[in-house]
Structure 1
């Protein structure tokens, strides 16, 4: 199995969302990460990042969220335009895994109409709730004709231990991570926003954009145990880590 780490965009946030003690006006630019997993039983895309149209008009697609996370990337850095680096097209992808349904993680779902989309049932319920827009959900990004398969907890995707989806609630009710095992490069945890930046794991705290802090800390501990067992944790939005990784055409194997 091979794993290609692909850009899903880049966003500017208030630094204080992720790092306590920051000045209120201080901002930080962070990557949005996606992962293409080439398994012998199918191509799996973990998260689809930002829709390319937000580069030119974020408010049209995201509404008020555009004031909280401002796109600072080129359309070529959206995952739909990154797939050729891994030698595939959107039509080749069999499964899309949505770690959660915030628009910077499912924005390119629309480009994968053939793929089965895996989402935790609790996440679908949260995205359909009456207050969903105030909690960061946008139906335009995920409520699509794709075949959606709701999950209820963990799932060994192909039954061989290579890709195991984990329910790690806290950031959102249905937050998912993936435990990935490669032959040469070993085990990885695709943490997405369950651990957005390294400091949250190292210092055991949840950021401000957290739905349930207590559950988030439990999930961080779950991922910490996987790290202790030898897995490399890939954070959802850590700029320093992203700069150190092999991305694009060169896979982990």
Structure 2
């Protein structure tokens, strides 16, 4: 089995959203990533990043949210060119797992028409609730009428414990992580926005864009437990960690 981290956008946001005490005028640049897992039973994408149209017209795609999350990438830094570097096309992807339905994590769902999409049942419910668009669930990104397989508890995707979906609620009601076990390089926990920045986990400090702080702090405890068992925690938007990862065609095995 192989794992590839793929660039899928870049955003500029207020630093105070993530870092307590930061000046409200200060900004922070956040990488957006997806992860390709190539298993003998199928190719999986964990998250699909930002829709390429936001490079030129973020407000047209995201509306007022574009003022909160400002895209800072060019077209080559979106998912489809990144995926092409691995030799795969959208039609080669069998499964898409959305950690949650915010637009920087499901923006390219529409391109994976042959894939089965998995998301947590509570995330599907939240995205369909009245007023969902006002809290970041944009129908244009997450809902193309395709069937979505709901996940409730942990789910072993291939039945061999190599790729297990793990509920990590707090940032959103149905946040999902993925625990990936590689033969040579061990376990990786794809935490997505359950750990946006490493310093949030280390300081036990929930970001301001957290849906439920109590659940988020319990999730931090669970992530620390998984990390102590030997897993490498991959944060959702930590630029320092991102710079140190192998990316694109360079895989982990």
In which range does the TM-score fall when normalised by the shorter chain?
over 0.9
State the distance in 2 between where 1:146 and 1:86 align: 26
Query: 1:35 is matched with which residue?
Result: 35
Consecutive unaligned residues in structure 1, runs of 5 or more? none
Which residue does 1:53 correspond to in 2?
53
CA distance in 2, matches of 1:150, 1:61: 26
Aligned partner of residue 216 in structure 2, secondary structure: helix
CA RMSD for the aligned pairs? 0.7
Q: Contact between 1:6 and 1:33, CA under 8 Å: does it hold in 2?
A: yes
Q: Aligned partners of 1:80, 1:191: CA distance in 2, in Å?
A: 22
Deviation for aligned residue 1:203: 1.1
Count of aligned pairs? 253
The question of whether the paired residues in 2 share the 8 Å contact of 1:35 and 1:45 is answered with yes
Mapped partners of 1:5, 1:147: distance in 2: 26
Q: Which residue of 1 aligns with 2:104?
A: 104
Post-superposition offset of 1:129:
0.7
Q: Which moved more, 1:82-91 or 1:171-180?
A: 82-91
1:69-108 to structure 2, matched below 5 A, reads 69-108=69-108
Question: Residues 72-93 of structure 1, C-alpha deviation per residue, up to 9 Å, x if partnerless?
Answer: 0011111122111111110000
Alignment partner, residue 230 of structure 2:
230
> Is residue 119 of structure 1 aligned with residue 119 of structure 2?
yes
In structure 2, the partner of 1:247 is 247
Q: Helix, strand or coil for the counterpart of 1:86? A: coil
Match of 1:200 in 2: 200
Question: TM-score w.r.t. structure 2 length?
Answer: 0.99
Counterpart CA distance in 1 for 2:163 and 2:235 is 17
Q: Distance in 2 between matches of 1:250 and 1:112?
A: 22
Displacement, 1:146? 2.5
SS at match of 1:130: coil
- Residue 145 of structure 1: CA displacement? 3.0
Partner of 1:9: 9
Which residue matches 1:152? 152
Runs ≥4 in structure 1, deviation > 2 angstroms?
none
Shift of 1:237: 0.0
